[in-house]
Chains A and B, each alone.
Chain A
């Protein structure tokens, strides 16, 4: 499977996702933000980091960058797109995913391992997981507090477009297991065609037992499936 990782000047998880993709046998290439053409890809990853410094609003400038037009075109043609952390923020800025990521409720950057629950396992990104499976995964963000309007929230629930919700280690989804104040504990969502996934947690950090765990391996192997 061919993957492309978009590299903005302030991306800082680009190497990490590339390492994870290669480890999972993807044929990966890095695509610089000033490029105007994407190589042939089955998967496009918009990685974590601080795209252009994010001094304005996370992802705001990246949402208007040269390469992003190509990402939008490919996504609309059905290419798989995965936005992680800053990548999720960027995808909401482009409109490929609806809703916004507000500042964390405690107004602080949060880095820790938390738990998420697989809500929809019937997608290209999650078919190797069991429904309601609990994963331990790392988050690292300042703006991960997902918010959207009531109509879209209804759509997310009715159309089964919620990918993951924050939960505790037993899978309980409640206020205590919500690290950032996100609406209904949402940690990741799909677009209506389910070819785009945006998520705040970092799957690339969970593919190596020596460093953490391998809870995200199945996300990548689902894609290869």
Chain B
């Protein structure tokens, strides 16, 4: 087949990129080689647009064992325990085929974690859909949720936390981000870097089929009206085989058989072999006739570009083949030596001993293009919303409208479809600020949470970027965990558009600022560009997944009120910032203005002292104040508990709507027993933390003095309705 301009374009490569390929090879590539370049040089695998900005993120820290660049990040949680975690997007496939797209998203991220020697212990997800009125939303929601559940439930890893949001910006391009967390022994972490010459390269797992060919390239382009035709590029998941693969790998990892291991994720056999060779500065030779195939007459091109799931590539120590093969045989999986490491620094592909392709490894890895894309700063609107000029609404009506909206309803319809308890270490499930997972057989636990704030990021990318890191940190603090590190999934539009590239660059500046200040490094992550259809880009949606440690776990703390007549303290200052709030969006459909500012000094001080208060067992419940403001936080603390609140009217801020719905940052609500109040206040005062005593808990009713009084059971019903009626 002749390589024409059309063929090059079909492979998602630009003319100038094709010229560099010819220069690097010193000849024209054949079709197989072109396919391989296309798989390695696309945005998804090469990070060509993002790399320049990503390298500014803080990635080091006392507890960081492995930062970005490996299959997942690794952190030290004391003793000989390590946590391995990462988040990844599967947006494009999930839009085309929601069930399989979401399922294989979960499968892929799980492999990233157990490849490193960790047993997965928790799954999380962040899913964003279009407007509920959009004709596709309902089926996409159904498909994605059952896909996530279908995979996680079958393999037996609990899905413990997540977020689900609806916004018309995702009408034509939904987001499905999956995060996996695993536990490993600190001295038993496995890496992808190849070492040694003439070592066996082994293919294990499922057979290779024709599914997912060019998946990574598909995920590196915008959608158009023909997107449906891309369905064959979506992979098909088999969680049962993944379970076998996971158990077999973890069994083999018990001794010293493995030199390096890499899962076949995006760009399958191509990226896994290139990555191992490139990190080890070696060559690799693969005999494609040995690759186990699911279908007949598969070509080298199809084998190298297939994204069939549940496959791994392993480089074994000499003499360990027999032992390793026995383990994979026990689990009924394929195990075939398909090649060896070489000193050629080339990827050499043979079929029946005839060379089908030959490419220098560095041409695919270090020499892949890097772009310093043009970006422009966000034009910020200065508009302020004058609440007095808006149509009047009663606090009660606004509260009910928000609690019964798609975005703020109880998500049990979703979370009940996920097995949250399998493995029997889930001490706190979805619906809390963060989930808590006990480290099996130990006294310690980790807390996990995923968060995003696309509206804030759209209005002010720097502040938005700062805010999501803080929001995530606050969620971990609220359950008594010390935040350690994050992973991020950066979902953006087309990076060739300077405005979008600006959103990316500025969000990253914000993330960097918060991470540095809070000593909260980024240890893994993923970039997903080209989220949009026909030039319509999604709002910038960076998603942060954080891990915190509870070193002495005695009982979970959460946001639900526990006792009658305890004091309610509001920590942090309330200014009544309404721009970009849930209130203005849900009640008036206003999305103007700037998000609330973040004072990082207060953020850190408030958080660290709340952690201290929780550790000293001085609070009954804690909740951070986030979307929807104080009143939503209080409602969430009441719903599902037996106690409501009686809140006094504020003394200072006279506009009640601003007081109750404002989204000022760095705030928490604490429920404190009367006899602990003195001790708590002392800690707060000693550390110069602003707080207000705003009322107390009471039985059965949610009450704001002189404004409203609702039965909390009624409130729960209002909050529980939306999904069941959708």
Give A residues with C-beta under 8 Å from B.
9-10, 12-13, 15-16, 19-20, 48-50, 52-55, 108-112, 138, 140, 142, 202, 204-205, 208, 210-212
Contact = CB atoms under 8 A, between A and B. Distances in A.
A211 B422 contact: no
Q: What 7 A-B pairs have minimum CB-CB distances, sorted nearest first?
A: A12-B156, A53-B240, A140-B419, A16-B424, A50-B154, A111-B419, A109-B417
Interface in B130-156: 146, 149-150, 153-156
Contact of A111 (B239, B241, B417): B417
Contacts of B419: 109, 111, 140
B240 A50 contact: yes
A110 B416 contact: yes
A9 B153 contact: no
Given A9-B332, A109-B153, A211-B425, A53 B417 contact: no
Interface in B514-561: 553-556
Nearest to A17: B424
Nearest to B553: A210
Contacts of B555: 210
Contacts, number: 86
A16 B418 contact: no
A168 B649 CA distance: 39
A210 B554 CA distance: 8
B341 to A, nearest CB: 31
B421 A111 contact: yes
Contacts of B238: 53
A204 B420 contact: no
B422 A140 contact: yes
A110 B240 contact: no
Contacts of B247: 9
Contacts of A111: 153, 415-421
A20 B421 CA distance: 14
A55 B419 CA distance: 18
A16 B423 contact: yes
Interface residues of B, number: 35
Contacts of B375: none
Contacts of A138: 421
B270 interface: no
B427 A110 contact: no
Contacts of A13: 156, 422
Given A50-B154, A140-B422, A211 B146 contact: no
Contacts of A204: 424
A210 B156 contact: no
Given A16-B422, A112-B412, 15 more contacts: A9-B244, A9-B331, A9-B332, A10-B240, A15-B423, A19-B424, A109-B418, A109-B419, A111-B415, A111-B420, A111-B421, A202-B421, A210-B553, A210-B556, A211-B425
A117 B417 CA distance: 24
A202 B424 CA distance: 10
Nearest to A113: B421
13 contacts: A9-B244, A12-B156, A15-B423, A16-B423, A50-B240, A54-B154, A54-B240, A108-B417, A111-B415, A111-B416, A142-B153, A210-B554, A210-B555
A97 B149 CA distance: 29
Contacts of B411: none
B346 interface: no
Interface in B417-459: 417-427, 438
Contacts of B149: 109
Contact of A49 (B150, B156, B331, B438): B156
A161 to B, nearest CB: 28
B111 interface: no
Contact of A108 (B146, B154, B427): B146
Nearest to B441: A19
Interface string B550-590: 00011110000000000000000000000000000000000
A55 B423 CA distance: 22
Nearest to A34: B330
Interface in B238-254: 238-241, 243-244, 247
B438 A205 contact: no
A12 B420 contact: no
A142 B152 CA distance: 13
B569 to A, nearest CB: 27
A110 to B, nearest CB: 6
Given A55-B240, A109-B149, A211-B438, A140 B417 contact: no
Contacts of A52: 240
A208 B424 contact: yes
A204 B422 CA distance: 10
